Amino acid sequence: MNDLQALSYITTVAGGLLLWLLEGVIPFFSGRAARGKHATKNLSIAGINLLILLPAGPIMAMVLEKSKAVWPGVGLLKLPFILETILIILLVDLWMYVWHRLNHEVDFLWRFHSIHHSDPSMDVTTAWRFHYVEIALSELLRLPVFVLIGAGIEDLLLYSMLMTPVIAFHHSNVSIPSSADRSLRTIIPSPLMHRIHHSVIRAEHDSNYGSMLSFWDRLFGSFKLKEGIRDMELGLQNESSPEKQRVGALLTRPFHN
Ligand SMILES: [Zn+2]
Ligand SMILES: [Zn+2]
């Protein structure tokens, strides 16, 4: 693990913990009970994903290093280093938008992505609640995309360091002034935008797919806003019962009809 990667893990854990504590002090949706139990469940599901993600990192680093020597991707444009890095970050975020949208539009992918959406009490821990098959497919499919772009492992670490706090923040149940949300969503997908993305109503959850930048949703017509969402129902229809929200049930859910 290099220094950048270690720093990325430390900031992720510290930032996640800070947001979780803040959710207890200034929650957007109030009356949340058993927050510890909810966090333990979501983080257990996330823990399984580490078994995929930890070996995936070094494999990706090796493949990208070799492929860049043969195919430089955006390196062909001979841009100054900083512009090349910005372009790569933008293209990686665009892929994240496309991949997320595919997860909603392709039934097979939705089977797995729906585990992220079925959380009726979305908070910062939901940011890491993904079915392991979705994580495995995501890692597998992003590799040829990164090869095509000509991304290096440092670009991906930088992207991850920029994107992870945004993802954690927009899933969090921290209440912020609406004027702050308005300003934030000119650049990043704000908490309001992502709460709409987790609405139980399909027309609402099929929107706001952006990961780090809100720009893609505006560009591709999937940007959606709705004010007054304090009584909005989060999660998925008929998936909120305690039995269906157990770790075992969530992990096996995609394999049932
Ligand atoms: Zn989604
Ligand atoms: Zn989400």
Segment 232-241, tens digit of pLDDT:
999 999 999 9
At 17, the pLDDT band (50, 70, 90 cuts) reads very high
The answer on pLDDT for 161 being more than 70 is yes
**Which three-class secondary structure string do you get for 110-179?**
HHHHHHHHCCCCCCHHHHHCCCHHHHHHHHHHHHHHHHHHCCCHHHHHHHHHHHHHHHHHHHCCECCCHH
The residue assigned the tokens 């510890």 is 36
Ligand closest to 208 (CA) is 1
What pLDDT is attached to residue 1? 58
Tell me, in angstroms, the distance from the centre of ligand 1 to residue 79's CA. 34
Tell me, in angstroms, the distance from the centre of ligand 1 to residue 101's CA. 7
Residues 166-191 have pLDDT tens digits of 999 999 999 999 999 999 999 999 99
Residues 213-231 have pLDDT tens digits of 999 999 999 999 998 899 9
DSSP helix/strand/coil, 93: helix
Tell me, in angstroms, the distance from the centre of ligand 1 to residue 237's CA. 15
What pLDDT is attached to residue 50? 93
Tell me, in angstroms, the distance from the centre of ligand 2 to residue 73's CA. 30
Q: Helical H runs in the chain?
A: 3-25, 35-70, 81-105, 107-117, 132-149, 153-171, 178-184, 191-197, 202-205, 215-219, 247-252
Instruction: Name the phi and psi angles at 79, rounded to 5.
Output: -80, 160
- The amino acid sitting at 1 is M
Total-model pTM? 0.96
Q: Nearest to residue 127, comparing CAs of 168, 174, 188, 162?
A: 168
* Residue 233 per-residue DSSP state: P
Residues 43-82 have pLDDT tens digits of 999 999 999 999 999 999 999 999 999 999 999 999 999 9
Q: Nearest to residue 112, comparing CAs of 138, 131, 140, 129?
A: 131
Distance CA(105)–CA(100), nearest Å, equals: 9
Read off the tokens for 175.
């209440």
Residues 108-129 have pLDDT tens digits of 999 999 999 999 999 999 999 9
Tell me, in angstroms, the distance from the centre of ligand 1 to residue 175's CA. 21
Q: Bigger pLDDT: 5 or 246? A: 246
